Amino acid sequence: MNNAATLLSDAIFEQLAAIVGPDRVTREPAELERLGRDWTRAWEPAPSAVVFPRSVEQVQALVRLANEQQLALVPSGGRTGLSGGAVAARGEVVVAFDYMNKILDFNAVDRTVVCQVGVITEQLQQFAEENGLYYPVDFASAGSSQIGGNIATNAGGIKVIRYGMTRDWVLGLKVVTGSGEILELNQGLVKNNAGYDLRHLFIGAEGTLGFIVEATMQLTRQPQNLTALVLGVPEFPAVMQVLHAFQNKLDLTAFEFFSDKALQKVVEHTGLQRPFETPAEFYALLEFECLNEEVEATAMTVFEECMEAGWVVDGTISQSIEQLQNLWRLREDISETISRWTPYKNDIATVTSSVPGFIAEVDELVNREYPDFEIIWFGHIGDGNVHLNILKPDALSVAEFHQRCHDVSRQVFEIVQRYRGSVSAEHGVGLLKKDYLAYGRSAAEIELMRQIKRAFDPNGVMNPGKIFD
């Protein structure tokens, strides 16, 4: 790590301390290292300081100081991002929202929660459950990711096929813009057609327009008797046949897939049992509300039809909460399991019907270009989002490995462009994908994004260098 902390003068450091308090600002090297990065490892963190605001007013004062002194600010939530969106690599001041973690209000009639930006996803899920309701946006990092980061990247996860993205659950936002203004956007309304809905500009903007400081989140009813099926599938195109067959008869809450290589890694790492002994190249995990015997009978009938068609070679169904959780772990533990290989991740998407050809082309490319690398596939196949993970061989340095992967990414994104897909389905653009933004967005779109950035952040202090330069 370079000595970026020396780039910040003592006078400015004292001004930061005056805003947030001397116990809520640090230049300690270990803390700069920890708080200046996210889950990506391609950039060495080098922030000049980290501040921990505790109120909207403190955030506003920090942004105004940044404009006066031309400081670059980087937002930091749970630091679980995978695109470098929360990386401070060029002497920026990190604004960490760990202490803005309170639930401020709850309305049982409207089924809404007002929470500060640092509320952990799992904290909101548990609050909803305690009040007989449900917050459905869910993913493996729910125990550490923060609501602000989820909104800033429009996080998706495992329930999108039924419940949509984070965007679909945000009824209102309080934000501090890049010029230091406080805006209250949409005020928790379900219906509001009075002009532009600026709330949606901040959702997915990765902190480049301003900082989200509070959010009004919608809750829904709790699902009943969730049941999971794990099915062994002999070849990838059959996964889509299975999805089509079950979607025609059941309202699915999730439909995930993972390769046998992914399953092997998880079983070895966790000690979990394979779902069944019959070998399969791929696995589909689907979830639904088993509300009565009729629903269960329908699921079994579709399963048998898939077996007879040759789309499925074997399967298992959860019979208890514990079995449901263990079947989900076969999918949800993949990212943690493969993290020891420092995977190079591509989070890509196309329309669901095009996924088989899309995956076939990308898979052929990466296996041809990386014959000595191990490739792990998994994803939220029900919404067209797949995750390509290339595992780093132990003999390669991280820098050399990333360079080799980076060289082929352009070819991957040429396939994405041909399929009219997205180079980043749910992890954001950050630093990792900004060189490839034009593969999914037109020049006119990107120029309009730049104009919007200038309107909200005229001095360019908010998370500069992310999404585009």
Give yes or no: residues 107 and 91 share one domain: no
* Maximum distance among all Cα pairs of the chain, rounded to whole angstroms: 74
Give yes or no: residues 178 and 287 share one domain: no
CATH number for the domain including 32?
Answer: 3.30.43.10
Q: Within a domain: residue 455? A: no
Q: Within a domain: residue 466? A: no
Beta-bridge partners for 231: 284, 315
Per-residue pLDDT tens, the chain, 469 aa: give them. Answer: 344 555 799 999 999 999 999 999 999 999 999 999 998 878 899 999 999 999 999 999 999 999 999 999 999 999 988 899 999 999 999 999 999 999 999 999 999 999 999 999 999 999 999 999 999 999 888 999 999 999 999 999 899 999 999 999 999 999 999 999 999 999 999 999 999 999 999 999 999 999 999 999 999 999 999 999 999 999 999 999 999 999 999 999 999 999 999 999 999 999 999 999 999 999 999 999 999 999 999 999 999 999 999 999 999 999 999 999 999 999 999 999 999 998 998 899 999 999 999 999 999 999 999 999 999 999 998 899 999 999 999 999 988 998 899 889 999 999 999 999 999 998 899 998 999 999 999 999 999 999 999 999 999 999 999 999 9
**385, containing H or E segment:** strand 385-391
DSSP string, 387-411: EEEEEPPTTS-HHHHHHHHHHHHHH
Domain boundary (68, 99, 130) is at: 99
Q: Within a domain: residue 456? A: no
Q: Is 314 helix (H, G, I), strand (E, B) or coil?
A: strand
Domain boundary (81, 99, 117) is at: 99
Give yes or no: residues 43 and 152 share one domain: no
Question: What residues have CB less than 8 Å from 191, skipping those under 6 apart?
Answer: none
Give yes or no: residues 241 and 213 share one domain: no
Give yes or no: residues 134 and 203 share one domain: yes
Give yes or no: residues 207 and 111 share one domain: yes
Where residue 91 falls (left for φ over 0; alpha for ψ -120 to 50; beta otherwise) is: left
Tokens representing 149?
Answer: 């980061």
Q: Within a domain: residue 15? A: yes
Domain boundary (51, 79, 99) is at: 99
Give yes or no: residues 94 and 115 share one domain: no
Give yes or no: residues 112 and 208 share one domain: yes
CATH number for the domain including 264?
Answer: 3.30.70.2190
> Domain limits at 316?
226-335
Give yes or no: residues 114 and 72 share one domain: no
Q: Within a domain: residue 80? A: yes
Q: Within a domain: residue 447? A: no
Give yes or no: residues 325 and 398 share one domain: no
Backbone angles phi, psi at 258, to 5 degrees: -155, 155
The residue with tokens 């813009």 is 177
**Between the CA atoms of 153, 154, 160 and 164, what dihedral angle is there, to the nearest 10 degrees?**
180
**How many domains does the chain divide into?**
4
Q: Within a domain: residue 444? A: no
Give yes or no: residues 249 and 299 share one domain: yes
Q: Within a domain: residue 133? A: yes
Beta-bridge partners for 230: 285, 316
Rounded CA-CA distance 146/123 in Å is 9
The residue with tokens 């999914």 is 440
Give yes or no: residues 111 and 213 share one domain: yes
CATH number for the domain including 376?
Answer: 3.30.70.2740
